[in-house]
Amino acid sequence: MIQKLFVYGSLMENFYNYNRYLKGKVLTRNHVRTRGALYHLIDKGYPAMIEGNDFIYGELIEVEDWGNTLRDLDTLENYYGERNINNEYNRVLIEVETIKGEHKGSAYTYKYSKQIKDTFNALYIPYGDWRRYMQVL
């Protein structure tokens, strides 16, 4: 069973939701990338990853107490279950690779379930790195 998570936004180390949900639970952390398109939801203050071909940079983590941690993250991400129309994010299995392009394996992540074109104030981040984006604000 896959028990790894790819995080690319506020769940990365030293961001507000990391401190609230993951601090003290992370067993391993690697800097990795995956494919997609990344946006910053200006009115909400957090990112949204959707399907795309850009590199999205983040962290591959393993956590202790997987079941309870995942349940807490599902609540945070407004994920109510597979194919639920009320999901803000869908929990999906993706492939990740090292920054150098070496395959690292599979991990769960949360992808935005809404249409970006229907989302007011979504800013495209072409370089796929939300940490970098937040540093230049």
* 3-55 pLDDT tens trace: 999 999 999 999 999 999 999 999 999 999 999 999 999 999 999 999 999 99
CB 90: neighbour CB atoms within 10 A? 17
Q: Which domains does the chain have, with CATH numbers?
A: 4-135 (3.10.490.10)
pLDDT at 124 over 90: yes
98-131 b/e (C-beta count within 10 Å ≥ 16 → b) = eeeeeebeebbbbbbbeeeeebeebeebeebbbb
The predicted model scores a pTM of 0.94
> What per-residue confidence (pLDDT) applies to 137?
75
pLDDT in tens, 59-88: 999 999 999 999 999 999 999 999 999 999
- Contact yes or no for 79/88 (Cβ under 8 A): yes
